[in-house]
Amino acid sequence: MDGPDEKAVAECAASLSSLLTGSDGKKRLSPDGQRKMRKNAVSSLRDFDDEALLATLHRLHQAGKSETLKQTKRKTDKKRESRIIPSTRRRTGVFLWLATATLAGAIVMGMEIAAFRLYAPYLGYSIYVWGTMISVVMGALALGYALGGWLADRSRSDKLLYALVLISAAYQLIIIFTVRSFLPALSELGDFLGTAVATLIVFAPPMAGLATVGPFVIRLLTRAGHAGSTAGQVYALSTAGSIAGILLTSFVVIPRLGTQAALEISCAASALLGIAGIVRGRRFALAALLPLAALPFSPEPSWGTSTVAVSESAYNLVRVVREGTQLMLILNDEASVATRQETNTGWTGGYYDDFALGPLLVPAHRALVLGMGAGGSISSMRATAPDIEIDAVEIDPEVVAAAFRHFGLDRNDERLRIHVADARPWVARNAGQYDIVQIDLYQGGPYIPFYLCTLEFFESVRKHMTDGGLLMMNVLDAGEHLELLSSAVATLKQVFPSVAVFSRPTGNHMVLASSQRRSVEHIRKTLAEVEGEDVTSRHARRVASVVVDFVTTQDTPVFTDDLAPIEAMTKRMMETTRTATSISRSR
């Protein structure tokens, strides 16, 4: 067949196909268009020979097959879309997916906040624990994001998504029942390796499972189009959920219910989220309820028979422990004894007793205590100045409650005013003048909060001291080179004209900084002349022989708000101490 006949056959076949479908491929044919096309097609068919007619029928058959395939594909896609993407027909599907992204973000961040509190009694409360834990969590989230995208591209429904969420809940349940049995062993690995391994075991798997939610939801929603706006919406809601998780866990759950409750709530929320997705298929719904059914039987933390009381606040896990005749206030880490009291005598034999020497060195009518703890330093100071007026600042209300309830602090003492506040902002806001300032500020372990040992902080404190005032500061440094103590003294010397130090074998150093020039010889003479055979008098004469003018070099770092490497110095000090866990501010 030559060219013109081939062209005529193609045109005739196209006309017949259009007549059969009622469309020319772009728009539907009008009645007049159909009549005209029918007339032309009939005319062409009359002129064709047998070969041309067969060719026309063949083309028409091929066009019909193509159209049938297109229609079948459209029907299949529509059916699949209706099954996979309820958003096109059921708004509840979209709402559930978006709610899943929001709640998953909240659960992940709630677990992260709870992780830091869970680790505190075993691994400490330092910036190194924070940094290590967050790094491992970020790695787990990255893995979850990648896995979620890969699985979403290969899944035809959201059932796998909710199965992953439910598996995360089941894993959390296992952890709730077992975590406190192996954390003590992991603490032996140190704050970096111990935290890394703990996070890999305890939090990385469930967080990775929850991290699959974001890319999975995006993939499900973008099958209906609008990829950019869908991704933005999912990320925005997930972030909003994360913010809510942080705030609720930090300000409500942990302070009011505790770390155990925070872990249980995260587990329950994950289980409910998984159930909400799976139950729509009415399969495995009963099995999905198992994690929730087991939660009431989760074990409570056990602290041993020596623990008298336990509570949690926004700042600390607070425990009161009795060992023989000694009563101790322990904050977070087992080695962080914030107050120690000998119940028979009121004395401890520890650095707390050193605060009794303040009123022996300067005439004292008013004192400021920064870092009250359970009131050990107040009791010591009252032994030598029973009528002194005291403003005591303590950041943790649960610590204050323990002081009243267990350590004999008198709630009706008119000469004692307790302020629940952060020390530095409180000093900046208030204008009192004091003869003695006690500083014993630590953050759940051997770490001094950096902003409470800087040049700017000491300048602020000095403004509240009388001309003959005395600052007494406990510094823990059991390291070989005493670099933390050296920098603390060097910083104080920038503000005070005289700084002296006396030390204990335990690594506790009492730093004495005076508002006016006061030589070490004068301090020694004053203490040596204290008469009497009571505990305080004997202690004063003993200190007179060991107090020194601590010498620093010109290259000793001075702590400032801009640069205060206290954490790094403390970490080195702990590493060079034979048994880091035995370091305590109270021993």
Q: What is the pLDDT of residue 87?
A: 40
Chain centroid to CA 481: 33
pLDDT for residue 81: 47
- Rounded to whole angstroms, what are the CA distances from 432 to 184, 230, 367, 412, 463? 45, 57, 10, 22, 9
Q: Which CATH architecture has domain 348-582?
A: 3-Layer(aba) Sandwich (3.40)
Is 539 in contact with 353 (CB distance < 8 Å)? yes
Mean pLDDT by 10 residues, the chain (587 residues): 63 72 66 74 71 72 62 56 44 80 91 84 77 91 91 84 90 88 85 90 93 88 69 84 85 79 85 78 55 67 79 84 86 80 75 91 94 89 92 92 89 91 90 93 82 92 94 91 93 95 91 93 92 86 91 91 87 70 45
HEC sequence for 195-245 = HHHHHHHHCHHHHHHHHCHHHHHHHHHHCCCCHHHHHHHHHHHHHHHHHHH
pLDDT, residue 454, reads 92
pLDDT score for 85: 45
- What is the CATH architecture of 87-297? Up-down Bundle (1.20)
* Residue in this structure with the two tokens 């099958």, named with its chain if needed: 223
Could you check whether 87-297 and 348-582 share the same CATH topology? no
Q: Does the model's pTM come out above 0.75?
A: no
What pLDDT score does 327 carry?
Answer: 87
CA distances 37 to 20, 54, 467, Å, are: 11, 20, 111
DSSP string, 182-193: HHHHHHTT-TTH
Q: For position 92, what pLDDT does the model report?
A: 63
Query: What pLDDT is stored for residue 65 in this prediction?
Result: 56
Q: Are the C-beta atoms of residues 458 and 500 closer than 8 Å to each other? A: no
Which pLDDT does position 570 carry in this prediction?
86
345, burial (CB in 10 Å: exposed 0-12, middle 13-18, buried 19+): exposed
Where do the domains of the chain lie? 3-84, 87-297, 348-582
